[in-house]
């Protein structure tokens, strides 16, 4: 009979990490890992969610929202860093849960990570397609850059989508890059990161001189703030307690939290790090600190260029280009550069999401919970190439035929769930196995893990009920797969029953 709570011994994991024939190639240093983290983090969050949080909830105090969200992520990041330094195995939160909370919990979290990585990659690929068409001035026909479930009036004619081809193209290109090798992928990612960070810094430096102090006064939206006007002409009221003051700042933190999704993806590459015990904490925490600093400066400049109400009226996707064109005369070229930065940012996010998902599948397959194809390594490039192709088909189908808003908060709830379990896992591991060497130790245990659980749990609670129900449905499908296939093929279960 299967033991649903059987744990994978830490010694077995470390032996697996040292198997040079079956393991992934160790090519990544600390700077590569920091670049991977920045590549995953800076994307839609910075360029889209900032305006959404400022215009609808926090006003100029969205800078404080970023700080609050970063603190919540830091609690989970400290826990990730301890695990990544002591268990240098691909698989991230899935692997950590297998060691601390047992096989069933590990399967659940591995299945939840599909929401973060696979659906996240599909959603960003769809956004990449939209921004490419924006850069090309709408040159791509509506039918070939939207799903069959989307329709819109184009030049007075109702058009319906057929297939999102640009989204497929970017996914195909990045899949080929990942199959060629992690080092090459990391090198391309480093170039992309340099480009988009340079443009972000350019926006901060050039925009700073155009800041109007009146737009930062009052810093938080007052309770009696007049209504804003939405794109359809209807009023947007700030009377709700979560649309002004500290309530608005907290609501804004929930929105901009999505801007930090991705730093945990660094931990999925632990088995490809040259010196994981030293480099993984640097990669995880370093990328989080750098991005938080950039987010605060960027949001301070953006909210100083135009009134926060403009981000409600003018729409949120093109908010940065709008602010530049309205407040920075003669800098229209910068708006184009920002669009290029958005495309670069989306590309690196997709790259790291695909990398993360394939490495989670790699670990689950090595444990027997998924078919062997997911862990077969290319004889030359030493990458899980079959897993990459399977993932391309799955993510590609979603990106080509499903609207981007469907994934919505599912990516976030999968991420938050992983954060909760990793935080709990560090606490459990400290009590169950206190003597194992920990090159990096999470400070103030159990306080930091408890705070991580509470902050991330509160964010899950704050998500809409439809997202929560959809996530429950997804988890139910995962449990069916586990009980029908995975528990019968688990290497650990077979060993226990021999």
Is 18 part of a structural domain of the chain?
no
Is 5 part of a structural domain of the chain?
no
Distance CA 294, CA 297 (A): 5
Is 90 part of a structural domain of the chain?
yes
Is 51 part of a structural domain of the chain?
yes
- Residues of the domain holding 210: 28-493
What is the radius of gyration, based on Cα positions, of the chain?
22
Q: What is the pLDDT of residue 18?
A: 55
Report which of 411, 408, 401 is spatially closest to residue 150, judged by C-alpha positions.
401
Neighbouring C-beta atoms of residue 480, cutoff 10 Å:
10
Q: Give the pLDDT confidence of 92-149 residue by residue, as tens digits.
A: 678 778 887 888 888 988 888 888 788 888 888 888 888 788 788 788 888 888 888 8
CATH of the domain at 247: 1.20.1740.10
Give the C-alpha distances (Å, rounded to integers) separating 457 from 83, 267, 425, 450, 468. 20, 21, 15, 10, 12
Q: What is the pLDDT of residue 315?
A: 47
Is 323 part of a structural domain of the chain?
yes
Q: What is the pLDDT of residue 268?
A: 63
pTM here is 0.76
Number of domains forming the structure of the chain: 1
Q: What is the pLDDT of residue 456?
A: 85
Q: Residue 185 pLDDT more than 80?
A: no
Q: Give the pLDDT confidence of 407-462 residue by residue, as tens digits.
A: 656 777 888 888 888 898 889 888 888 887 887 788 899 999 999 999 888 877 77
Distance CA 338, CA 213 (A): 23
Is 20 part of a structural domain of the chain?
no
Which pLDDT band holds residue 405 (cuts at 50, 70, 90)? low
Average pLDDT taken over every residue of the chain: 82
Q: Give the pLDDT confidence of 203-234 residue by residue, as tens digits.
A: 999 999 999 999 999 999 999 998 888 765 78
Q: What is the pLDDT of residue 186?
A: 66
Is 8 part of a structural domain of the chain?
no
Is 349 part of a structural domain of the chain?
yes
Question: CA end-to-end span of the chain, whole Å?
Answer: 11
Q: What is the pLDDT of residue 20?
A: 45
241-259: average pLDDT: 83
Burial class from Cβ neighbours inside 10 Å (0-12, 13-18, 19+) for residue 20 reads exposed
Distance CA 242, CA 259 (A): 19
**Could you tell me which residues come within 8 angstroms of residue 83 by beta carbon, excluding any fewer than 6 positions away?**
96, 267, 422, 425, 426, 429
Lowest mean pLDDT among 57-71, 337-351, 356-370: 337-351
167-178: average pLDDT: 92
């Amino acid at each position: 009979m299967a033991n649903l709570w059987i744990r994978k011994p830490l010694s077995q994991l470390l032996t697996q990490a040292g198997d040079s024939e079956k393991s992934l190639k160790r090519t990544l240093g600390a700077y590569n890992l920091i670049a991977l983290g920045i590549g995953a983090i800076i994307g839609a969050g910075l360029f889209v969610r900032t305006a959404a949080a400022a215009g609808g909830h926090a006003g100029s105090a969205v800078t404080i929202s970023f700080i609050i969200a970063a603190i919540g992520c830091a609690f989970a990041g400290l826990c990730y860093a301890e695990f990544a330094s002591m268990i240098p195995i691909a698989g991230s939160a899935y692997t950590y849960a297998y060691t601390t909370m047992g096989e069933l919990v590990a399967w659940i979290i591995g299945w939840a990570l599909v929401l973060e990585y696979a659906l996240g990659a599909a959603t960003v690929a769809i956004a990449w397609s939209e921004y490419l068409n924006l850069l090309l001035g709408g040159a791509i026909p509506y039918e070939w850059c939207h799903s069959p479930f989307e329709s819109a009036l184009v030049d007075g004619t109702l058009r319906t989508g057929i297939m999102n081809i640009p989204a497929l193209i970017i996914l195909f290109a990045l899949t080929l890059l990942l199959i060629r090798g992690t080092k090459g992928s990391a090198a391309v990612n480093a170039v992309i990161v340099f480009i988009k960070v340079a443009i972000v810094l350019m926006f901060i430096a050039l925009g700073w001189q155009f800041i109007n102090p009146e737009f930062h006064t009052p810093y938080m939206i007052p309770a009696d703030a007049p209504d804003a006007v939405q794109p359809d002409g209807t009023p947007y009221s700030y009377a709700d307690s979560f649309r002004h003051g500290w309530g608005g700042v907290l609501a804004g933190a929930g929105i901009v939290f999505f801007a930090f999704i991705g730093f945990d993806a660094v931990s999925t590459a632990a088995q490809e790090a040259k010196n994981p015990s030293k480099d993984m904490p640097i990669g995880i925490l370093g990328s989080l600190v750098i991005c938080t600093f950039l987010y605060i400066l960027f949001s301070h400049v953006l909210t100083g260029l135009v009134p926060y109400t403009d981000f409600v009226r003018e729409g949120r996707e093109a908010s940065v280009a709008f602010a530049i064109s309205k407040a920075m005369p003669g800098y229209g070229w910068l708006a184009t550069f920002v669009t290029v930065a958005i495309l670069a940012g989306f590309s690196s996010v997709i790259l790291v999401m695909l990398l993360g998902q394939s490495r989670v599948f790699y670990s689950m397959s090595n444990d027997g919970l998924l078919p062997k194809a997911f862990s077969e390594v290319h004889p030359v490039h030493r990458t899980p190439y079959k897993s990459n192709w399977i993932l391309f088909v799955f993510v590609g189908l979603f990106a080509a035929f499903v609207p981007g808003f469907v994934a919505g908060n599912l990516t976030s709830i999968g991420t938050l769930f992983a954060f909760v379990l990793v935080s709990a896992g560090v606490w459990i591991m400290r009590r169950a196995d206190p003597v194992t060497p920990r090159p990096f130790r999470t400070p103030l245990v159990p306080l930091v893990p408890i705070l991580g659980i509470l902050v991330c749990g509160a964010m899950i609670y704050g998500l809409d009920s439809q997202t929560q129900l959809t996530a429950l449905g997804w988890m139910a499908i995962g449990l069916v797969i586990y009980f029908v296939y995975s528990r019968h093929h688990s290497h650990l279960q077979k060993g226990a029953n021999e």
